[in-house]
């Protein structure tokens, strides 16, 4: 009697939903590993002190530092997040036309139950969904960014000290660590704080990866604040104090202008034909948004150059920085461009300082 051949098990590749959920878990695990790492590093430098940890050792965690983090989270993430969550929810109902149940589902983590992005795109206008995504994200970030820029730029202009150039970089180590833990704590939550912390900024167009995109951005932003501490020290060495305010504008607001303008113009009038890759289920950008990002970045930099009567070498730096912002915003994987643009700007300015000053 001949033996029948044993059928080999067929390996079925994971479906799109399972694949995205796996990616979301990996982002969470990576952020958790990073946060554990900076927490350990912070504990070590606190023990070593300023002599053996010159960049961070002078910083001490006291009652004021803890209160700063608490009120920062309360105002920025909870109160301001609640306001823009409400605005975005209203737009989804009145402008997009979603039902209450659909709006409620959009603001969940989208990872605890099946979330079908294609079903939403088949029922509602993709452009209107993109616009509401943009309003929630950019409304929240731009208002805070403009207030922060005016405060810091004015302060550096009046009293150009190296610590102002650092934008509180040393203090930001503790802030980044604490906020990373808070973002991790509400990552999978469908409750009030999960919706408030992530609600305004989690794009519908990212589908299941909406919160993964947000967590990746916040984690990498914390990383930049961390590495900018030694970078800011080197910048302060090469640049005269009177150039600290322009330097701040070239590193921070120039990239914020490029990033915001590209999304605003792209969602309003852009044709989403440029396929990119990164953290999202639908990854497309537009030529109009890319051009707008370059123009906005250049306008910010040149306004600083001409208003402060800087040499023409700074105008050349403005073009280089704006090109860098544009290319990195377009080609960086989605969710990483904040980190790549800000880091590149700091390095370009450092190189400029070495050559010119």
Is residue 7 situated within a structural domain? no
Query: How many CB atoms within 10 Å of residue 355?
Result: 10
| Cut 0.75: pTM above it | yes
Is residue 295 situated within a structural domain? yes
Q: If pLDDT is split at 50, 70 and 90, which confidence band does 66 have? A: confident
- How confident is the model over 6-27, as a mean pLDDT? 68
Is residue 245 situated within a structural domain? yes
Q: If pLDDT is split at 50, 70 and 90, which confidence band does 264 have? A: very high
C-beta of residue 140 within 8 angstroms of C-beta of residue 201: yes
Residue 282's contacts (CB-CB under 8 Å, 6 or more residues apart) are: 117, 205, 206, 207
CA–CA dist 198, 109 (Å, integer): 8
Check whether 95 has a pLDDT greater than 90: yes
- How confident is the model over 191-209, as a mean pLDDT? 92
3-state secondary structure of 284: strand
* Residue 10 confidence (pLDDT): 44
Q: If pLDDT is split at 50, 70 and 90, which confidence band does 149 have? A: low
Q: If pLDDT is split at 50, 70 and 90, which confidence band does 212 have? A: very high
* Residue 50 confidence (pLDDT): 58
Is residue 269 situated within a structural domain? yes
Is residue 6 situated within a structural domain? no
Tally of domains within the chain = 1
CA–CA dist 165, 188 (Å, integer): 37
Is residue 120 situated within a structural domain? yes
Is residue 62 situated within a structural domain? yes
* Residue 340 confidence (pLDDT): 95
pLDDT tens digits for 153-163?
666 666 666 55
pLDDT tens digits for 214-260?
999 999 988 888 788 788 888 888 888 888 888 888 998 999 999 99
* Residue 301 confidence (pLDDT): 97
**Mean of per-residue pLDDT scores for the chain:** 85
The domain containing residue 41 runs over which residues? Answer: 16-356
Of 324 and 1, which is predicted with more confidence? 324
Is residue 77 situated within a structural domain? yes
């Amino acid at each position: 009697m001949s033996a029948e051949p044993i059928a080999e098990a067929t390996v079925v590749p994971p479906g799109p939903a399972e694949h995205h959920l796996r990616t979301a878990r990996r982002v969470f695990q990576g952020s958790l590993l990073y946060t554990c790492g900076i927490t350990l590093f912070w504990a070590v430098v606190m023990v070593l002190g300023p002599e053996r940890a010159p960049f961070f050792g002078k910083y001490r965690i006291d009652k004021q530092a803890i209160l700063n983090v608490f009120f920062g989270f309360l105002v920025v993430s909870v109160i301001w997040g609640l306001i823009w969550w409400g605005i975005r929810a209203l737009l989804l109902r009145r402008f997009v036309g979603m039902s209450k149940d659909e709006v409620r589902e959009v603001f969940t983590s989208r990872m605890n139950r099946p979330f079908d992005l294609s079903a939403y795109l088949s029922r509602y206008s993709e452009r209107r969904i993109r616009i509401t995504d943009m309003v929630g994200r950019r409304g929240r970030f731009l208002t805070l960014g403009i207030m922060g820029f005016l405060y810091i730029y004015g302060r550096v202009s009046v009293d150009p000290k190296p610590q102002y150039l650092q934008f509180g970089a040393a203090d930001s180590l503790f802030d980044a660590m604490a906020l990373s833990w808070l973002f991790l704590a509400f990552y999978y939550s469908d409750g009030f704080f999960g919706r408030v912390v992530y609600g305004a900024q989690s794009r519908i167009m990212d589908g299941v990866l909406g919160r993964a995109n947000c967590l990746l951005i916040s984690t990498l932003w914390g990383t930049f604040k961390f590495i900018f501490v030694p970078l800011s020290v080197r910048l302060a060495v090469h640049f005269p104090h009177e150039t600290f305010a322009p330097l701040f504008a070239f590193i921070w607001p120039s990239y914020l202008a490029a990033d915001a303008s590209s999304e605003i113009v792209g969602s309003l009038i852009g044709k989403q034909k440029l396929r990119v890759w990164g953290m999202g289920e639908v990854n497309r950008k537009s030529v109009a948004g890319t051009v707008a990002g370059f123009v906005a970045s250049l306008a910010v930099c040149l306004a600083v150059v001409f208003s402060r009567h800087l040499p023409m070498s700074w105008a050349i730096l403005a073009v280089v920085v704006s090109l860098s912002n544009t290319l990195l915003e377009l080609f960086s994987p989605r969710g990483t461009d904040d980190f790549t643009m800000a880091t590149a700007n700091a390095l370009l300015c450092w190189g400029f300082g070495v050559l010119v000053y």
